[in-house]
Chain A
């Protein structure tokens, strides 16, 4: 074995040992993440227009896909930076990992089916049909921001951080104090969000009739805790301790919200 290949092997080994848990990483190491195509490189023509349409739906979901949305949230409420930010379930981390078996419905789901789940459970709305313009546009946009990402591999920053069990069981009461101190500036003491001066949703409601349902991924305390840990308060990710993230997630998910549409009787299907 040559010295060169030995060095290579050591480098590889350290690379494998490092990571995979991102907590503790500083905000400025994002060169490690997959980078979507640069702005301004969008192709002209029908595909480019469809991608752009998908981007608009992604940001202003209620405005561009009103018939499919039942609450005040948008895609970007959870998938920050237009579905690009690492650890907020970026599109480039999802695109290449479907079709996938999901324990949620015990089936192999396509990306379209997964997106339909977002509309049904998180947006409390109606899933856009696979052939609809809305779905095509969202798929086109997902494809675009994933251009160059490997298919079928785990990418750093994909999905939501998996939180290890907290030292103490998550406590909604402790979470309430944290929420009021650090989240209510934008989300309100009552969690109902904030409006802009032209009465559009500025900061989304995090519980109540206009927020995600009990069927949404964020209704799992661990998922919400992982999102909060890495992304909240906005631009100040990783400033809450793991325990605080768990507690505040437990508090938010202990509040009233629409029933899981699979269980709701007489509600939207």
Chain B
């Protein structure tokens, strides 16, 4: 707790102002500090990832996403390591606003400021971590179907190939389209179903809601296990051409460009 150093009465206006200011500085140190260097931002992001930002409800991201952001394939907690800053930022904001359904994360992220989110997103975008084993069952009978949906789509139902937007081998087209290669089957299936029943609605243009709602359960399983079987990209790099200021960012254009 911050203690006022003012010598006058405890409830004098000046002391009260001091307390308020002190509390503000203690709670939002980086804001008071002004513009951060990238290193300082990453350091703050690392702190949030490992311990939370200290505000009620905010626990360490690493509790579920694990220390190096590899996630928990067994229960469908996604890999976030190496996903782009822009994407992680967008998704945390989505959970805060309820456009991305996540009963676990919902409470945890409410007390993150936009600055905190930017820090933690930047931090995880720089983390490298190997793929973790996925204990989900793999159905060899669905191998070809999964491959086909990924590479060709099912255009007779207006379902484009996944790789058109998620990049060759699901490596993502940063910053707007995340990598999906190496995510767990459980996570990918969960998200497709979530899009299909419109619990997750943070997808630009409703692209994923449209596509997922046209997939059968069998197709969802097939395509999820296909991308789960691939290796994630080491580094979610944003190519020079895809500078965020050139592309419309979803859901809001508010990431300060350095």
Nearest opposing residue in chain B for A234, CB measure: B160
Contact A195 B247, beta carbon cutoff 8 Å = no
Find chain A residues with CB under 8 A from B207 CB: 233-236
A196-B165 Cα distance, complex, nearest whole Å: 9
If A197-B167, A202-B173 touch, does A30 touch B157 (CB 8 Å cutoff)? yes
If A196-B167, A197-B239 touch, does A81 touch B153 (CB 8 Å cutoff)? yes
What's the least CB distance linking A123 to chain B, in Å?
A: 19
Identify the interface centre among A27, A181, A189: most chain B CB within 10 Å of its CB: A27
Residues 203-258 (chain B) with a chain A CB within 8 angstroms: 204-207, 210-211, 214, 233, 236-237, 239, 241-242, 246-248, 250
Contact A81 B248, beta carbon cutoff 8 Å = no
Q: Counting CB contacts under 8 A, is B185 at the interface?
A: no
Find chain B residues with CB under 8 A from A196 CB: 167-168, 171, 173, 239
Could you count the A-B residue pairs with CB atoms below 8 Å apart for me: how many are there?
94
Q: Which of A33, A193, A197, A234 contacts B172 (CB 8 A)?
A: A197
Find chain A residues with CB under 8 A from B173 CB: 194-197, 202-203
Find chain B residues with CB under 8 A from A199 CB: 239, 241
If A233-B207, A236-B206 touch, does A188 touch B247 (CB 8 Å cutoff)? yes
Find chain B residues with CB under 8 A from A189 CB: 246-248
Residues 53-106 (chain A) with a chain B CB within 8 angstroms: 80-82, 84-85
A39-B174 Cα distance, complex, nearest whole Å: 31
A186-B167 Cα distance, complex, nearest whole Å: 12
Find chain B residues with CB under 8 A from A188 CB: 246-247
Q: Counting CB contacts under 8 A, is B156 at the interface?
A: yes
Contact A197 B171, beta carbon cutoff 8 Å = yes
Find chain A residues with CB under 8 A from B233 CB: 197
Q: Which of A39, A192, A195, A234 contacts B164 (CB 8 A)?
A: A234
Identify the interface centre among B156, B171, B214, B236: most chain A CB within 10 Å of its CB: B156
Q: Counting CB contacts under 8 A, is A180 at the interface?
A: yes
What's the least CB distance linking B159 to chain A, in Å?
A: 7
Find chain A residues with CB under 8 A from B248 CB: 180-181, 184-185, 189
Q: Which of B155, B158, B172, B204 contacts A185 (CB 8 A)?
A: B204
What's the least CB distance linking B81 to chain A, in Å?
A: 15
Task: Classify the secondary structure of B's interface with A.
Answer: mixed
Find chain A residues with CB under 8 A from B156 CB: 30-31, 33, 35
Find chain B residues with CB under 8 A from A198 CB: 168, 171
Contact A185 B205, beta carbon cutoff 8 Å = yes
Q: Counting CB contacts under 8 A, is A43 at the interface?
A: no
Find chain A residues with CB under 8 A from B206 CB: 236
1/0 contact trace for B160-187 toward A, CB 8 Å?
1000110110011110100000000000
Nearest opposing residue in chain A for B235, CB measure: A197
Residues 19-62 (chain A) with a chain B CB within 8 angstroms: 27-28, 30-31, 33, 35, 39
What's the least CB distance linking B155 to chain A, in Å?
A: 4
Contact A197 B205, beta carbon cutoff 8 Å = no
Find chain A residues with CB under 8 A from B205 CB: 182, 185, 233, 236
What's the least CB distance linking B200 to chain A, in Å?
A: 17
Contact B237 A197, beta carbon cutoff 8 Å = yes
A257-B256 Cα distance, complex, nearest whole Å: 32
Q: Counting CB contacts under 8 A, is A166 at the interface?
A: no
If A80-B155, A234-B165 touch, does A192 touch B246 (CB 8 Å cutoff)? yes
What's the least CB distance linking A212 to chain B, in Å?
A: 19
A98-B189 Cα distance, complex, nearest whole Å: 46
Find chain B residues with CB under 8 A from A200 CB: 168
12 A–B contacts, CB within 8 A, in A order: A39-B148, A39-B152, A185-B247, A186-B247, A188-B246, A192-B246, A194-B173, A194-B247, A195-B241, A197-B233, A234-B207, A235-B159
Q: What are the 4 closest A-B residue pairs judged by CB atoms, nearest first?
A: A27-B158, A81-B155, A184-B248, A195-B239
8 A-B pairs besides A39-B148, A180-B248, A194-B176 with CB distance below 8 A are A185-B248, A195-B173, A197-B237, A202-B173, A203-B173, A233-B205, A233-B207, A235-B160
